[in-house]
Structure 1
């Protein structure tokens, strides 16, 4: 019998992880990347005798696949992907491919904002008591971890792009933190397509599985009304009492599952801001479901270290606080950042706009922002949106210059906030590169 042929499009973390797992379980594997494969990944492929190509796609070697794993970064609009779909070759994401080779309990976390923080926080709590991996959009690939560690539990941070190519993938516990318009360029500019994509996280769940979601998020609540799921629902809310799930009362998080109630004070949470109370609720609900002791949950919430590039306090210089929120690649993330500012703020914003509507930021711009520095190749939309609201609005295409301008404008007691509300690919490699350049520029002041 000839081996089944697994072709992998994209030679990054998820692609190479899938290649290793695919080879181990008996597939004939071929990796193809239209761009350049990084040296560290090339070395892994060569060492494991896996056939690969980069800077091209050889159709003859791709279209004879039995199954194709597509990197989440490649859009369905790509001509090659269209051709593959026309031919009826199944296209799966890494989480779909890898999940069939593990019996682990899976916690899947998605949402437009807060995924990384909540996934990292959930993992931080669970690892005190369980054998658990952290993967998905974060860290080593899921496929590689199944191959190397075979954890009994996984916390997966999952993007809508990864959910677009699932068939049977089913987390025992699914979390949808929130949904706001993001990546609409990949969803024909239709918000409902993006919402449907996020809800695929629950499509294979049964009544024995759980869906944890934000009951204050109108988008989520109305979608669930018209598209009911089979899962057991565990909502969380800052504004209303919930019978099963989590809510806030007198600064305490109260979590109830099957009449088993635990109470967590929020005054010592390591993370600041309303949105982080929600992230803590989601993570604690997961932990409570998986029978982690209350004391362990409480201590973990208090000693958690924040995620890099997410409202990360960099330095205080001349009584001005510099804050790196480079991970804010959409308007909603920046909304949380500006909402949590307690002092006049010099705001560095801009990049690749994904169809942004800046209106929801207007109240904060009026109330908290004293100056705006636009850091992008094309800043026209920002200038039109905020031009009349602040006294100072300037443009630059260099991070070092943006930080120097901010340094000149900011006075003692102010904040300088990098929260771009946009993707980073016009001037930077990715949001991490953008955040690191910001931190370096601040340290060089």
Structure 2
């Protein structure tokens, strides 16, 4: 058995940022970074954005240069899954039988795409979007005369739909809810997203249940649904992701739709931390536990975990943030709103350039800038404050003065 100072299980963005934060903070003990993918850590958002669109290459997604880990004395075990965490012995076991000891362990095991219990889901040509090989596999089905069916109109499904349509593909999206992203955006903005896609030629069907995937000679040929049958050269399933909590749960850590951690990202065992998609973390700003599956959160929580190990006392004190680009729609969202919140729009939806605020009993819970840039810091400053709706929508009131 080898003995290591800190073992990081999960070599995505969050795990990479733990290693980076430790070394930048002067941590001199050994660091081991374990990942079940053969690739070194990379940023996932670009898989369904610029790389899928063809505006950038996959090599642009790597968090660090290839030689960074050796230069920083970070031992890497890429392409090697961890299959056991032994809290009493302070060890992590790998699938090849190696056992690594630790003083601290950080779980950054991420999430996996949810699959549907459908006949035909194992056919060739059925894809999810999560890992680097998924992008070229999906993109191979783009182009004139190709038919792509996407199940699920969440962020991933809609980004894939936009990229495919821009490449000339015949795109159908099947969504179970009445509107896309309704639980996140509420009716007004969900209807805006529906119009964005249908106006750009996407066949977006809502209130649809998918019943089976059909195939021939082991390859998918179509989708059966409550709205009828849709021919397909390929199918993308985008119905959300599930946190990879199996390692934590089997070790006896507290788990509830995520690994439960405090404001410092410590789990129920003081030597174990959890970050990123799997962390159900106590947020000191909202006063409630949050589990967030976005790039910004993975980056920040990786840095926070490093600070916790270094003893800084820093806490999880920021609002969630994410962004997307679809057709001519680019936006940034900050906060944690819900479909039950009131929505207030500054500007006009029809212009394609506006700001939306979500509020609950007068308290701003979230904000989104659409094709309006360099304002996200001002929006972030408004979250949590009580602002009259008329003031939020009044374009004569500067964003920086909303809480003055």
Output the TM-score relative to the length of structure 1: 0.27
Higher strand share: 2
Structure with greater proportional helix content: 1
> Which structure's relative contact order is higher, taking Cα pairs within 8 Å and 6+ residues apart?
2
Q: TM-score, normalised by structure 2?
A: 0.29
